[in-house]
Structure 1
Amino acid sequence: MKYIFTIAASALLLWSCSNDPEVAQEKNLSAVNNSAVQTKAIGSKVMMQAFYWDVPAGGTWWNTIKGKVPSWNSAGFDAIWLPPASKAQNGGYSMGYDPFDYFDFGSYNQMGSVETRFGSLAEINSLITTAHNNNLSVIADIVLNHNSGGASQANPYTGSNTWTDFQPASGLFIRSYNDFHPNNLHASDAGSFGGFPDLCHDKTYVQDWLYNNSNSVAKYYKNTMKFDGWRFDYVKGFEPWVVKNFKNAATGFAVGEYWDANAATLEWWANSAEASAFDFACYYKMRDALQNNDLTQLNGDMLLKRNAYRAVTFVANHDTDEIYNNKILAYAYILTHEGYPCVFYRDYEEWLDKNKLNNLIWIHNNKASGSTTYLYADNDEYVARRNGTPGLIVYINNSNSWQERWVDTNWASTTIKDYTGASTWEPVTQADTWVKVQAPPHGYTVWSVK
């Protein structure tokens, strides 16, 4: 997450404070998206992170993504992850990580604009419908740790004024100092962020509006906006049961951003939240392997090796992009290994060879199944086997020349080929299943039955 926050901007937003913050103000919003989801469960193919930090402002992004949806479906993606879609403090300039009104998707004139940075309510509805019509699920980015844009009010728990008077134009989830830290329950929770008002998830009122009410954030996003899954921002800031409760209320795929390189910690969080987690352990192992020319790092501890079902693997995202050397090799790793791989928009659309990525996505969706056996690793070479049907052998070579290696396969007396096209060999495995394969310099090959 990245944020732009100024107290001066908040000071310009002077709202009345006449509502009782502990009384839910119900207001029916029209159901505006009736698209029927005809998609498979998220996780069967590959996720696209459909944004980057500071995508073009001006309300054009939803339409930009909509135009790419058919080709992404054809390439083999099964879901798109959108940035936080509701109105934030910085209005038409915000990337959404400073949430103000969870129910304003570009239809209320507040925070200096009607539309969000990405577009209007009608445009996001059209995007979601188009995605569903192209068999793509849509993942909403949800920021539950903190809020931004509230007006100043006297706060008896701090003895001073705080920016905690939230009067959203939607009329839903009005908030005051009672709903943040400190309050009458406790001073803080797992962690605040950047000086923003920190939501108190132990408050019944907050729980009701986030997931318990019939028109809570969770149920409104699911039933009215038709989102299919949830990416939870900065989950270190609150307890895992918050994600668990939200996911159970709304149903659908859930993944948390628990930014930690320790695989055991990621496993603990994923099990506690009953959700997937971005595999930062895998990310940092790949970074170190490629930057330090030590592919033995790829045999290190990762969430995908502890619980592949809970691991969302990635090479870059809107927050971090530290794999500079031979980044395509990192994609060759995550798109041939276990876990649910996520491709970063700029890597796919702008920076890397799209044909190579499409080839790897096809390999992932058609060949990469079953458990993994790690066959060999040294500074320059890495070889692994997927044991499903048909399964594959992936050979990553980070040296300056072609390399060859004998490997043990699951195929006896079978002709195999490299599905990347880098090698023209079509060797026949021996009766004992061994075969010699090769890989190009600073490249990779992926072998499977012909």
Structure 2
Amino acid sequence: MGNEVMYQSFEWYLEDDGKFFSKLKDEIKDLKNSGIDAIWLPPVFKATSTNDVGYGVYDLYDLGEFDQKGSVRSKYGKVNELKSLIEEIHKNGMKVYMDVVMNHKAGADKTEVFRAVEVDKNDRNNIISEEHDIKAWTYFDFPGRCGKYSQFIWNFQHFTGVDYDEETGKNGIFKICGDGKNWSENVASENGNFDYLMFADIDLNNSDVRDELFRWADWFTDYLQIDGMRFDALKHMDASFVRDFIKHLCENGKDHLYYFGEYWENNLNHDDRFLFETKYKLDIFDVTLHFNLSEASKKGKDYDLRKIFDGSIVKNHPLMAVTFVDNHDSEPGQSLESFVDPWFKKIAYGLILLRKDGYPCVFYGDYKGIKAKNISGQKDMIDNLIDIRKKYAYGDEDNYFESQNLIGWVRRGSEDHPGRLAVLISNEDAASLRMFVGKDQEGKKYVELTGENDREIEIDKDGFGVFEVGPGSLCAWADKDSL
């Protein structure tokens, strides 16, 4: 991905006004000028209501076109506005990545009666009831769409489990019974088996389901002319399906698409297994690095900065890591809340934007703020770091992970971008660190690029500079004549 930067264009609490697509379209030029190369859009499908962020997907073929679930528009707008937004993104030389949800469906049109067993929510392999009839919302015929684009009708045989019995009013996890019906074994092992997450869980081993989702993928990618897909809830999806889904698209002229996804595991062994089982066909978000950043922000000077990349994807699979500081799942109020403290945001973004490896993703909530939680954005700081990335963060890096509270690195530059970049981070007091930038830099004056320090540092005859950083901060230094 070179020095590209991705932008997550949404957060959980955006207003339900249907103006998201049109507002974002007006911002595309500014985002391009800020150094953003790709836009990750939220799930654009018709969901349970317009107030649904999009992960409660009802109809994958309704992109804000049909009168379903109480409206024509989705939370974000109508299909013509979506297509206009994508055209604007492409016109500005940027890529568009779509958030795709294939683990479950929600908001069914009718109930059905079928046989099921209840399982222990803490161990889904443990059956806690006899097989019995339940009535559940599993029939999807999409009356508002009337068969346009696809005439496929979903019923209980296309799912593995549900979470509600309409007949008794009981909430729980009910595994659907029948020939070949079982949880997938090729998912995360949390809770015994983490195939089931929510709503009506799609049976990704069902041949009719697979054929329909493959057909939908062909239609969706052609209809919107997208550049990539972000897969939601990968730890709950059969890894072989994910592999075959990508293989299908690649074999049908979509090998240019970029595939990445959310495998929310803070466990390198589990990440390794998923990447192997999907034949390294997609990148994944570096969840472990996110948790390391969050922990470091909470512990302050008691966190050992030398361990910031321990267990991370970017350290162990540097070409397959999408690095991020926060996202819609980790923001305050969410079930996976693990928000990085504000004082540490600059350090965190420096760690994903100014280093060699990883495809960094900037989060809307960090960039523009989270209005519902009274959290301010740090756009100027992030823009500054993106600018430094684009101008100076090139070539290999030499690490100086000197102590618990002080680390640094030097980017050596490349043939096209020969300038050097020296970066320091302190999570305690102001400090300095002697780092090598090259004998050819002798006598050059380096200045700080983030506005933290107004001194000039002269490189000595051996190619070293003694670089400075303020307390609890990050500083980046480069030759002033290269500005």
Q: TM-score, normalised by structure 1?
A: 0.84
Residue identity over aligned pairs, in percent, reads: 28
Q: What is the DSSP-based 3-state SS (H/G/I as helix, E as strand, rest coil) of the residue aligned with 1:198?
A: strand
Provide the residue aligned with 1:329 in structure 2: 347
Deviates most, 224-233 or 153-162: 153-162
Match of 1:327, as an amino acid? K
Are the structure 2 counterparts of residues 136 and 201 from structure 1 closer, same or farther at C-alpha, using a change threshold of 3 Å?
Answer: same
Cα displacement (A) at 1:410: 4.1
Alignment match, 1:433? 463
TM-score normalised according to structure 2 size: 0.79
The question of 1:96 aligning with 2:101 is answered no
Which of 141, 146, 158 in structure 2 is aligned with 1:179?
158
1:298 aligns with 2:297: no
Q: 1:403 corresponds to which letter in structure 2?
A: A
Deviation of 1:237 (Å): 0.8
- Does the 8 A contact of 1:413 with 1:428 survive in 2? no
Counterpart residue type for residue 303 of structure 1? I
Change (3 A) 1:392 1:307: farther
**CA 1:89/1:270 → structure 2, altered by over 3 Å: closer, same or farther?**
same
Out of 4, 17, 23, the position equivalent to 1:58 is 17
| Aligned ranges 1:413-428 → 2 under 5 Å | 413-414=441-442, 415=444, 416-428=446-458
Corresponding residue for 1:399? Answer: 428
Tell me which amino acid in the other structure corresponds to 1:239: D
Secondary structure in 2 matching 1:62 = helix
Deviations 1:82-136 (A, max 9, x none): 111010122x221110111101011111111111011011111111111111112
**Alpha carbons of 1:386 and 1:262: their partners in 2 closer, same or farther (altered >3 Å)?**
farther
The structure 1 segments of at least 4 consecutive aligned residues displaced by more than 6 Å after TM superposition are none
* Secondary structure in 2 matching 1:129: helix
Paired residues of 2:289 and 2:309 also in contact (CA < 8 A)? no
- Matched residue pairs, number? 403
Rounded to whole Å, the distance in 1 between the matches of 2:219 and 2:276 is: 26
**In 1: Cα distance, 2:439 partner to 2:111 partner:** 69
Change (3 A) 1:279 1:195: closer
What is the deviation of 1:436? 0.5
Map residues 44-443 of structure 1 onto 2, 5 A cutoff.
44-90=3-49, 92-150=50-108, 151-156=110-115, 159-168=133-142, 169-170=144-145, 171=147, 172=150, 173-181=152-160, 182=176, 183-189=178-184, 190=187, 191-211=194-214, 216-248=215-247, 249=249, 250-251=254-255, 252-273=257-278, 274-293=281-300, 294=303, 295-321=305-331, 322-324=339-341, 325-337=343-355, 338-350=357-369, 351-389=376-414, 390=418, 391-400=420-429, 402-414=430-442, 415=444, 416-443=446-473
Q: CA RMSD in A?
A: 2.0
Matches of 2:107 and 2:438 in 1, distance apart? 59
Deviation at 1:229, TM superposition (A): 0.8
Structure 1: unaligned runs, 5 residues or longer:
1-41
In the TM superposition, residue 52 of structure 1 has moved relative to its aligned partner by 0.4
Report the equivalent of 1:35.
none
Distance 1:195 1:443 in 2: 41
On the 8 A contact 1:45/1:364 being kept in 2, the answer is no
Which amino acid in structure 2 is aligned with residue 407 of structure 1? Answer: M
Letter in structure 1 aligned against 2:368 = E
Structure 2 runs not aligned, ≥5 long: 118-132, 161-175, 188-193, 332-338, 370-375
Q: Structure 1: how far apart are the matches of 2:82 and 2:381?
A: 30
Aligned to 2:202, what secondary structure does the other structure show?
Answer: coil
The structure with more strand, counted as a fraction of residues: 2
Closer/same/farther in 2, CA of residues 327 and 234 from structure 1, 3 Å limit? same
